[in-house]
Amino acid sequence: MMSDRATASLDGLAEQPGVPKPDPILTVSNVSRSFGGLKAVDVEHLEIQRGMITALIGPNGAGKTTFFNLMTGFDQADTGERVFNGERLSRRAGSAPARRAVASAGVVTVALLGGLVVGGAVGQGNVRLGQILGFVVGLTLLFFGNRMLLTSPPGPRSNAFLDGRAARPLYGIAGLATGLVVSEIAVWATHLDGRWSTLLPFFGTVSSGILGFALGSYVQGPYSPHELAQHGMVRTFQLTKSLTKLPVIQNMALGAKGQVGERLSRGLIHPLWTDQEASIEERADELLKRFKLDHMRNEFAGTLSGGQRKLLEMARALMTDPTLVMLDEPMAGVNPALTQSLLEHIQGLRDDGLTVVFVEHDMDVVSEISDWVVVMAEGRIIAEGPPVAIGRNQQVIDAYLGSDHESNLVRTVDGTGTRDAPTREAPTGDVTTSDDTTGKGSDGASNSDGGV
């Protein structure tokens, strides 16, 4: 029912690449990434519907992993925009704190340099007095400037100064000016003379300028993976990353957000975090049970089998309380019995209200659990639509035929060809499973009942 309702919201959408969705959690535009001459990813527009399972398929080398890397900050796109949960998350500069910081840097610069000139004149040649005056004026302006910017709403597109694309030069200049004034004041206050009275301002100005430049680069730069993860976008890797020399339970606990004890000063005082740790472990134990890993709780993760590691990585990702889970080939190298339970887990995530994007080659699997399928080939999105339709899509068949002769093409064509009836049945199967898990399913069921 859950999936019925979910797919229902996508019913009637045009089956064409880049089609807008009613409630996208992730929207990307004009994302491209080249490795040398090879354009690994070139996505014009893609929207991922909230609360659904979207499958990303495509032949090997289509750019799926690279696309995941770009989305999660592990790689930087050459061009492109990313909007997640209504927030523009392509560059740090777009964020409110960064905009404030950039504006502050601009204000300080203007104030300092202005202060140097004006103060020099007002102070009747007393340059140092002028500098100090300028500094005070700058700090005052900075304070009020920040207040003003805090209250003005951020627009979708603002100018280079406000959205931070000018951060690097601005911070650099602000750093230079601040360094100059501060070290001049230091020289004056300490009555330095001789060699150091020129060397100190020199080094002070240069190092402060470099610092400003570095800070500006940071503000102007792209988001890091950990920042995106903190926003609720979590991923797993095609090659499983289990922390082999940590016990399974520690692997899990690592994923929890907002841990007091992760600050060294607090971590040293164990009573400050042991309560939180206990509740984290409780949550971890629940998840481990769900993923049938509870018997391995205290073993090193390195002792798990390949399939168990996939499960652990997924469970660990869930510890971060994500809203969007991106799974890169979660089923690869997992035995059929485990595959079935992995599929159930993925559906369980959707039923819990999470959004799932996963990469998979097996068309049977894809049509069994996904609500929407996006097909990539040679970096582009060549088709998207509900699984049934994708199986019939001639372009998709060609893509698999054209580049990847042995593995999936026959099954893809076959599977979808002969699976016309079974796929219709799949939702019915879904209904029974979600009815079985009454606790999770009831919410969705009652909702869709109301809807129907």
User: Quick check: 66 binds Mg ion (CB under 5 A)?
Assistant: no
Terminus-to-terminus CA distance in the chain, angstroms? Answer: 11
Contact 393, 383 (CB under 8 A): yes
Contact 220, 92 (CB under 8 A): yes
Task: Give whichever of 188 and 300 is closer to other proteins, judged by the CB atom.
Answer: 300
Task: Mark residues 219-238: x for contact with other proteins by CB under 8 A, - for none.
Answer: -----xxx--xx---xxxx-
Task: Please say whether the dihedral angle defined by the alpha carbons of residues 192, 193, 195 and 201, taken in this order, is positive or negative.
Answer: positive
Q: Which stretch binds other proteins (CB under 8 A): 164-172, 178-186, 316-324, 393-401?
A: 316-324
Contact 171, 135 (CB under 8 A): no
User: Quick check: 69 binds Mg ion (CB under 5 A)?
Assistant: no
Rounded to a whole number of angstroms, the minimum distance from the CB of residue 300 to other proteins is: 5
Q: Which stretch binds ligand ADP (CB under 6 A): 53-61, 127-135, 225-233, 274-282?
A: 53-61
Within residues 62-101, the interface with ligand ADP by CB under 6 A covers 62-66
Task: Mark residues 19-48: x for contact with ligand ADP by CB under 6 A, - for none.
Answer: ----------------x--x-x--------
**194 residue type, one letter:** G
Token couple for 286: 């629940």
According to DSSP, the residues that pair with 41 across neighbouring strands are: 33
| Spatial CA neighbour of 239 closest among 375, 359, 380 | 359
User: Quick check: 65 binds Mg ion (CB under 5 A)?
Assistant: yes
Which one of Mg ion, ligand ADP, other proteins, none is in contact with 267 (Cβ closer than 5 to 8 A by kind)? other proteins
Rounded to a whole number of angstroms, the minimum distance from the CB of residue 347 to ligand ADP is: 23
User: Quick check: 206 binds other proteins (CB under 8 A)?
Assistant: no
Interacting residues toward Mg ion by CB under 5 A: 65, 238
Interacting residues toward other proteins by CB under 8 A: 72, 74, 214, 224-226, 229-230, 234-237, 241-246, 250-251, 253-255, 257, 259-264, 266-270, 273, 277, 300, 302-303, 306, 313, 316-317, 319-320
Interacting residues toward ligand ADP by CB under 6 A: 35, 38, 40, 58, 60-66
